[in-house]
């Protein structure tokens, strides 16, 4: 376990790199209103965060990361364009692996800029890579936006598209939904029995939790429409699967996805954004010829990433979490901006992992 003083010294150096790149240093509160995170992620967030409460402020969550509070701050009072950096502790519950820290330092860099998202993506990635120094780390990249665009291009109902999009970050649930919508797996027996009734609401019942009878009735109407909808075609499912299986060096991945775009025209704009990002990275000195791209990368991360995603990993240390991660989160600014939005991308580094790797080298 690295000494705290060494970790703080490493964090200070990283923070200085980001300040020298033009970022404004900011501090964020440790306690956040739980309602904000619950609205964003649902009850799943409780499994990853510490929750507390008091009579005056209600339910609060101990800061699980910095991105949400930084976005809130920027959307409330930030000028455009803006670059921010921060250094501080985050707190994550680790109920499945007690070897992982539940409190650790993060140092981050966030960019809010409208003009050229591809350049901003490349800026953040290249700066994080530079800040990591000469460590022998494996870099991985992906793009959630390509999968999201493929979903929107499916010939199916809007309700199904919304459900699949909502579960992009839950791969097992996404797979189960896709198979069901394609007719490859049967509808649950309980749902079949419910929909077989002429009027499931005929006899009435008490409200279920926070859902009123009217909300339950509306949900039944949605389920009935889903059951009557035509299945997603086998070709569309195969194309989604082919997209998710793309895992190659960036130039080859781009060509592979371009080929898929012939039969998936909805992903065309997202593919062009990938092309623009590759060019921008190359101009910043990133070795794009060997940089890995995985179309399914980032699907188990925090759900606010909706475009470019990346991570840096220590080879031969599968026991360690990523040393650095980041990505684009345009939709998060729309959710928290109360009518305003701005393209945004950022990344974070864990100095404790850098110190640990340095000690072992």
Nearest-5° Cα angle at 279, 276 to 280: 85
Distance of CA 140 to the CA centre of its chain: 14
90, containing H or E segment: strand 82-91
Whole-number pLDDT of residue 316: 87
What value does the mean pLDDT of the chain take? 88
Tens-place pLDDT, residues 229-246 = 799 999 999 999 999 999
Edge-to-edge strands of the sheet including 51-54?
31-33, 58-62, 51-54
Structure tokens at 261: 């775009």
41 against 96, higher pLDDT: 41
- Give which of 55, 4, 5, 64 is closest to 36, Cα–Cα: 64
200 against 231, higher pLDDT: 231
pLDDT band of residue 319 (cuts 50, 70, 90) is confident
Task: Note the pTM of the prediction, 2 decimals.
Answer: 0.88
Whole-number pLDDT of residue 157: 92
Domain boundaries, the chain: 138-169+233-313, 184-230
Spatial distance between the Cα atoms of 250 and 355, rounded to a whole number of angstroms? 30
pLDDT band of residue 206 (cuts 50, 70, 90) is low
Spatial distance between the Cα atoms of 8 and 14, rounded to a whole number of angstroms? 10
CB distance 321 to 353 below 8 Å: yes
Edge-to-edge strands of the sheet including 24-25?
24-25, 82-91, 103-112, 344-349, 324-328, 308-313, 138-143, 292-294, 247-249
Whole-number pLDDT of residue 37: 78
- Give which of 253, 266, 280 is closest to 141, Cα–Cα: 253
- pLDDT tops 90 at residue 360: no
CB distance 156 to 229 below 8 Å: yes
- Give which of 337, 324, 302, 325 is closest to 77, Cα–Cα: 337
Spatial distance between the Cα atoms of 79 and 81, rounded to a whole number of angstroms? 6
pLDDT cut 90: percent of the chain above it = 60
Residue 85, beta-bridge partner list:
25, 109
Whole-number pLDDT of residue 199: 66
The DSSP result for 292-324, as a single string, is EEETTTTTTS-TT--SEEEEEE-TT-TTSPPSE
Whole-number pLDDT of residue 55: 79
């Amino acid at each position: 376990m690295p000494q705290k003083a060494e970790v703080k010294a490493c964090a200070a150096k990283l923070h200085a790199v980001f300040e020298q790149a033009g970022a404004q240093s900011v501090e964020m509160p440790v306690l956040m209103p739980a309602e904000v995170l619950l609205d964003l992620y649902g009850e799943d967030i409780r499994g990853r965060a510490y929750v507390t409460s008091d009579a005056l402020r209600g339910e609060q969550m101990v800061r699980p990361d910095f991105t949400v509070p930084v976005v809130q701050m920027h959307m409330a009072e930030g000028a455009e364009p803006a670059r921010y950096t921060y250094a501080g502790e985050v707190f994550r519950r680790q109920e499945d692996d007690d070897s992982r820290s539940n409190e650790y330092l993060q140092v981050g860099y966030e960019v809010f800029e409208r003009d050229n998202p591809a350049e901003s993506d490349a800026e953040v990635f290249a700066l994080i890579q530079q800040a990591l120094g000469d460590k022998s780390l494996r870099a991985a990249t992906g793009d959630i936006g390509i999968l999201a665009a493929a979903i929107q291009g499916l010939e199916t109902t809007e309700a199904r598209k919304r459900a699949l999009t909502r579960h992009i970050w839950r791969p097992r649930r996404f797979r189960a939904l896709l198979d069901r919508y394609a007719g490859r797996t049967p509808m649950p027996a309980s749902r079949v029995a419910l929909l077989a009734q002429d009027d499931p609401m005929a006899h009435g019942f008490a409200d279920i939790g926070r859902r009123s009878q009217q909300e339950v009735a509306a949900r039944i109407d949605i389920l009935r429409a889903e059951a009557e909808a035509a299945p997603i075609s086998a070709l569309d499912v195969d194309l989604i699967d082919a997209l998710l299986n793309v895992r190659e060096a960036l130039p080859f991945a781009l060509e592979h996805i371009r080929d898929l775009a012939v039969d998936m025209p909805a992903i065309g704009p997202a593919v062009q954004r990938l092309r623009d990002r590759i060019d921008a990275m190359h101009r910043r000195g990133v070795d794009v010829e060997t940089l890995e791209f995985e179309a399914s990368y980032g699907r188990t991360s925090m759900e606010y990433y909706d475009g470019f995603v990346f991570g840096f990993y220590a080879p031969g240390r599968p026991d360690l979490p990523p040393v650095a991660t980041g990505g684009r989160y345009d939709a998060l600014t729309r959710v928290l901006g109360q009518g305003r939005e701005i393209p945004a991308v950022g990344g974070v580094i864990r100095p404790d992992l850098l110190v640990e790797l340095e000690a072992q080298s």
